[in-house]
Structure 1
């Protein structure tokens, strides 16, 4: 699987990049909402997995339609 290629981030680095608490990052791992890797006793998050998680949560802005003139 190529998602594990690249840099592996610590839980603390992941939380910092998400601008959240470490607890939230650990909950993502516990609930298996983000891909992670065990390196011995340590847990690491592939940078590509973090980018995929962020991309999956992007909500695009809605462009308002122009109002038609009513008569």
Structure 2
């Protein structure tokens, strides 16, 4: 949605502004990659779940963040 905040544009000026906005949106959509990027190993949640969880004990809290 486009809203005129200030001024009183003519229909021609409004049509020209809308044409520019639509052209920019079409250009951005064409430039965007259509194939999603593969996750790298750092952001893959299975890298953390692949390790065994530490057994309960007095020092378990210190080892829960970093997988060994």
Q: Shorter-chain-normalised TM-score: which range?
A: under 0.3
Look at both structures and tell me which one has the larger radius of gyration over its CA atoms: 2
Relative to its length, the structure with more strand (as a share) is 1
TM score, norm. by length of structure 1: 0.26
TM score, norm. by length of structure 2: 0.27
Q: Per chain length, whose mean CA-contact separation is higher, i.e. which structure has more relative contact order (CA < 8 Å, sep 6+)?
A: 1
